[in-house]
Structure 1
Amino acid sequence: MSVPWLTVLWLLPTVGAIAVLAVPNTRPDVAKWLGLAVAVATFAVSVGLAVGFDATGTRYQFVEDHSWIPALGTRYTLGLDGIGLVLVLLTTVLLPLLILAGWHDADHAGSLDHSGGRRQKGPHTYLALTLAVEAMVLMSFVALDILLFYIFFEAMLIPMYFLIGGFGSGAGRSAAAVKFLLYNLFGGLIMLAAVVGLYVVTAQSDLGGGTFDLRTVVQAASSGQLDADSGLLKMLFLGFMFAFAVKAPLWPFHSWLPDAAVSATPASAVLMMAVVDKVGTFAMLRYCLQIFPDAARYFAPLIAALAVIGIVYGAVLAIGQTDVMRLISYTSISHFGFIILGIFALTQQGQTGSTLYMVNHGLSTAALFLIAGFLVSRRGSALIADYGGVQKVAPVLAGTFLIAGLATLSLPGLAPFISEFLVLIGTFTRYPVAAILATSALVLSAIYILWTYQRMMGGPVRPVEGPGAASRGMPDLRGRELVVVAPLLALLLVFGIYPKPLLAMIDPAVEHTMSTMHQPNPQPTVPVSTQGGPK
């Protein structure tokens, strides 16, 4: 009997979350080390899946299929393709680093009970919620049943809500958590209506009854077996797309992100932006394009236009920020615009670049946001104007901030460059104007990153005394912080020079998506003169 590795993958952090809560409240260090061990073990399982994955084999591998709710035609079906695999690896790589980065984030979150022990709102709950988010995200990446995916797509909002509202900082954290929850719940409700509608469509089609099996529905959509009016299918597409656009987020459904990112702890903000939000863009590829290919083609120009607006909008607003954490959150809105633009360019290069961008954005945003968080924890302020001369007193911290910032602006030689280049090339062959407008973000990103570095890290060292001061005496990165930052920077360098291992997993899955949609790549045309030479 083969081991159900995909079940082990998501069940391990689930059981780990329960085990962490079972640790006595008087032993927070034990809870921390247990949570870290579970995250490392989950990463080890994902590495084993990557080693055993055959990129040239069948699309979905390690498939598990068991009866769940026969009356609804829904089953417990899991499977892993190349796109899901790279996002599983991203998630499991980041989680141990995020636990280390937030090692002390919840130390003072709990109050003391009558016996002198710490109440459950402390490291135990913080770690359990983090592991719960990981488990639900992993299930979302491997689920091959639409209803199963939807349940975990919605369920991950609850632990994320408590991480923002219960462990964040600032007076506005509760409002930011509620805003995050309401936006995403509303999107989920619209999607639920679309999921029900899709089930009715499959029940009326020649599929032997209603079904939520993704492979069956995609095959029916590809062969024209879905017996539904094109207008209805477009409405269902919009129901799915709206929920994913809120989660991603796509402009103009983005306004919850900056508030949530600033209010959460840096580790929780990275968990949200680099991991949870990727479920939205991943679902666009897996569900919107494959189940509704005609509707995706119909709405692609509109979505591409919104993506371009988001790219420019996020970059422009980043330039005007005075809070470094809010600045980084706006850069993510710009980057998600690139990801969504590549998806709806409907070219193989664009979708390959978008998938690679999901990974690279996760790494670069994690590095930049966590380093900024380490900096803010030293000064106690996120205002850019409160810093100056950091590179003189904490050169390692300043240097790592610069590398992470250069990765964010897609400097050649760092991982985001190749993914952004692929997105732009893939977009240009279908929407040249959109690609040209999107390139403006390259200049804008250089402005907001280099100007921020110059103001915070360069110039004279601010004195400790006086208003708006204190870089003097600031400690450099410590051992635990270096352990967090070093792997992220190393991966940015490695994948910037040699992205082939990731592309080898991504390309076949993207090619399968394109063939399922019957979507050929546009052929670039070069006008020639009557003499046969280039014009």
Structure 2
Amino acid sequence: MLEELQFGFPLLSVLIFLPLIGAILLWPQKDPDLLKKSALGIAVLELILASLLLLRFVPDSAAMQFSERLSWIPPLGISYHLAVDGISILFVGLTAFLTVMIVLYSWDSVGENLKLYLMSVLALEMTIMGIFVSIDLILFFVFWELMLIPSYFLIKIWGVGEEKEYAALKYVLYTLLGSVFMLVGFALLCLNYHDATNAYSFDFLELLTVPVPVSQQILIFWFIFMGLAFKAPVFPFHTWLPDALVQGPIGMSVVLAGVKLGTYGFLRFSFPLLPEASKDETVVMIVMALGLIAIVYGAIIAIIQADFRRLLVFSSISHLGFVVIGLFALNFQGIQGSLLQMINLGFTTAGLFFLAGFLYDRTGNTLVDQAGGLASKMPLFATFFLIIGMASIGLPGTNGFIGEFLILLGAFQAHWFYGLVAVSGVIFAASYFLWYYERAIFGPLGEKVPKVLHDLTQRESIIAVSLCVMIFWIGLYPSPFLNMINGSVQAVVDRLERGSVASIEFDKRLAMDAASQRIVVEE
């Protein structure tokens, strides 16, 4: 049966299935205007419910909140278990926010098969919500795989490149390959639980109560790592990303670049369930090396790009390298900064992809040699481009600065070399953005720039302003966001420091102390 609900109704289930119900309701509609308004209404309602969840969330707590649990496949220990904590709560709000922005963007940019496009976007939102609120590993895996269905069709049907079908297939095959490894890792965790308790379970909270032998932890860590690394994508598992982000539609690019599902998985499952493996010297050295290479490699390749969308692809790879080194610094500041930076990228990198879409809709390309002098034609576009770009490279006062500063602080605490290489990435990031901005926005008007070039429309301005509000809110007043994540981040750090066995004993002592206090109070 469902556990006692904090809202009196299953809010997390509503957040998951509302977009799906909305997508179904769009099917019989034929009027394009009604389709757009209906899809926007559903997305806005989802955002309102997500905002309500954020407002009622208890900050500075590591506890799972708004829990819903229902037995699903009892013989295998699989349950329908939903909950949020400081690790996942901000991702729920980010997903709802970006969906509203994507629907607004598609208002005029999607002409063919609009109904199916909007249904696919809402279905995609459902799967992502499911990923972030699932506590049972198999339920998480189900939503993880279901995400491929709308993603495939969004890239294949509404992509803008000549090789969009190839890009869609490549994305699906790479993700499926990684998912096979991840499922094996989940199965091994369940079997370890069975060896200790003679029962099966894929429930995250129950798996935490049984330590995993260190030798098995290393193996399981790499199995799960493969699934998460392909999805993130962590260098060198990133080769599907350029095709998907350049060939696919802007809405799909926003999701893939702005919602960091793979690195979320490290925090959600790998660190708490496999603490000894996560801090193993060899593991840390390998993953840190991949993160540092990604920072430098992505930034250097971005500098030489003539296409703004390809520049953003490699910029995204570089920024993900920052997130990885922050996570595997394995200290409070590094993990805190990485988690916040994952949210930040949902506003900055996703925002730059929206701007690339605005430019593509007007000129038919995002090539720098076919731009130039856009500031004279599109001053609003140029202004928002500068603001979001400065946030992307970590200008003080913006959200990017807060995240990068915490990551660098954590990296230097782990080892000076990590911090030194990461700082070089900041310099490279400023180089590639400012160089592109100068060539595309200032200077003489490009010969191939259309003579009639309209500035941002009202809907496009709403998207840009909304993104900038979040950028400056987090940049100037990050306390509410940090307070939401701090409790869960500290719990992860504590488990990493104590290890699984010591953590279990510590939790048992806490439970015994709490029980004894209740007895004294009752007497």
State the partner residue of 1:281.
Answer: 263
Q: CA deviation at 1:217?
A: 0.8
Distance in 2 separating the partners of 1:314 and 1:164: 23
Cα drift, residue 473 of structure 1: 2.5
Residues 189-220 of structure 1: per-residue CA shift (max 9 Å, x gap): 11112222222111111x34121110111232
CA–CA separation in structure 2 for the residues paired with 1:203 and 1:14 = 35
1:385 to 369, 373, 378: 369
Residues of 2 paired with 1:104 and 1:267: CA distance? 13
Counterpart of 1:19? 25
> Unpaired runs of 5+ in structure 1?
109-121, 464-468, 521-535
Gaps of 5+ in 2: 500-523
> What do the CA deviations read for 1:338-372 (whole angstroms, capped 9, x no partner)?
11111111001001000100111110012111112
CA contact (8 A) 1:188 1:243 kept: yes
SS at match of 2:210: helix
CA RMSD of aligned residues (A): 1.3
**Once the two structures are superposed, what CA deviation does each residue of 1:33-58 show, in whole Å capped at 9, x if it has no partner?**
11111111111111111111111445
Q: Give the secondary-structure state (helix, strand or coil) at the position aligned to 1:75.
A: strand
Amino acid at match of 1:5: L
Q: CA shift at 1:319, angstroms?
A: 0.3
CA contact (8 A) 2:109 2:361 kept: no
The one of 41, 48, 68 aligned to 1:64: 68
User: Is 1:470–2:449 an aligned residue pair?
Assistant: yes
Corresponding residue for 2:143? 152
- Is the Cα contact below 8 Å between 1:461 and 1:471 reproduced in 2? no
Higher helix fraction (1 or 2) = 2
8 Å contact kept, 2:127–2:143: yes
Alpha-carbon distance, 1:491 to partner: 1.0
Pick from 33, 46, 64 the counterpart of residue 29 of structure 1.
Answer: 33
Quick check: 237-246 or 99-108, which moved more?
99-108
Q: 1:413 aligns with which of 397, 403, 406?
A: 397
Partner of 1:187: 178
Which residue in the other structure is 1:267 paired with? 251
User: Does structure 2 retain, via aligned residues, the 8 Å contact 1:346–1:519?
Assistant: no
- Aligned partners of 2:498, 2:306: CA distance in 1, in Å? 44
Does structure 2 conserve the Cα–Cα contact (< 8 Å) formed by 1:461 and 1:472? no
1:524 aligns with none
The residue type equivalent to 1:305 in the other structure is A
Q: 1:57 & 1:336 partners in 2: Cα distance? A: 27
> How far apart in 2 are the matches of 1:52 and 1:509?
16
1:141 alignment partner in structure 2: 132
Instruction: Report the CA distance between 1:271 and its aligned residue.
Output: 1.7
1:114 is aligned to none
Q: Counterpart in 2 of 1:512?
A: 491
Q: Does the 8 A contact of 1:180 with 1:256 survive in 2?
A: yes
TM-score (norm. length: structure 2): 0.92
Give deviations 1:20-71, integer Å, cap 9, x for gaps.
1232xx3222222111111111111111111111114451001111111001
Secondary structure (helix, strand or coil) at the match of 2:70 reads: strand
Amino acid at match of 1:144: I
Task: Name the structure 2 match of 1:8.
Answer: 14
Change (3 A) 1:443 1:372: same
Match of 1:491? 470
Q: Give matches, 1:124-523, under 5 Å.
A: 124-205=115-196, 207-221=197-211, 226=212, 228=213, 230-275=214-259, 278-298=260-280, 299-463=283-447, 469-518=448-497
Whole-angstrom CA distance in 1 between matches of 2:402 and 2:335: 13
For residues 464-498 of structure 1, give each alpha carbon's deviation from its aligned partner in whole angstroms, at most 9, with x where no partner exists: xxxxx115321111111101111001111121111
CA–CA distance in 2 between the matches of 1:381 and 1:419?
32
Task: State the AA in 2 paired with 1:33.
Answer: K
Distance 1:40 1:476 in 2: 26
Residue 513 of structure 2: aligned partner: none
8 Å contact kept, 1:17–1:132: yes
Give per-residue Cα distances to partners, 1:90-136, cap 9 Å, x unaligned.
1111110111112234312xxxxxxxxxxxxx111111111111111
CA distance in 2, matches of 1:413, 1:190: 41
CA gap 1:334/1:327 in 2 versus in 1, 3 angstroms? same
Q: Distance in 2 between matches of 1:473 and 1:65?
A: 57
Which residue of structure 1 aligns with residue 43 of structure 2? 39
One-letter code aligned to 2:187: V
Show CA shifts across 1:211-257 (max 9, x none): 11101112323xxxx3x4x3322111111111111111110001111
Q: Secondary structure at the match of 1:376?
A: helix
Whether the aligned pair in 2 keeps the contact of 1:388 and 1:471 (CA below 8 Å) is no
Match of 2:509 in 1: none
Percent pairwise identity: 37
* Alpha-carbon spacing, 1:166–1:194, altered in 2? closer, same or farther (3 Å): same
Which of 89, 95, 103 in structure 1 is aligned with 2:93?
89
SS in 2 for 1:22: coil
Which TM-score applies when normalising by structure 1?
0.90
Shift of 1:516: 2.2
For 1:192, what is the secondary structure of its paired residue? helix
**Equivalenced residues, count:** 491
Q: CA separation in 1, counterparts of 2:446 and 2:322? A: 37
The range that moved more, 296-305 or 349-358, is 296-305
Counterpart for residue 508 of structure 2: none
Q: What is the SS of the residue equivalent to 2:348?
A: helix
Q: Give the conservation status (yes or no) of the 8 Å contact 2:87–2:267.
A: no
Higher mean C-alpha deviation, range 448-457 or range 57-66: 57-66
Deviations 1:159-212 (A, max 9, x none): 11110111111211111111111111100011112222222111111x341211
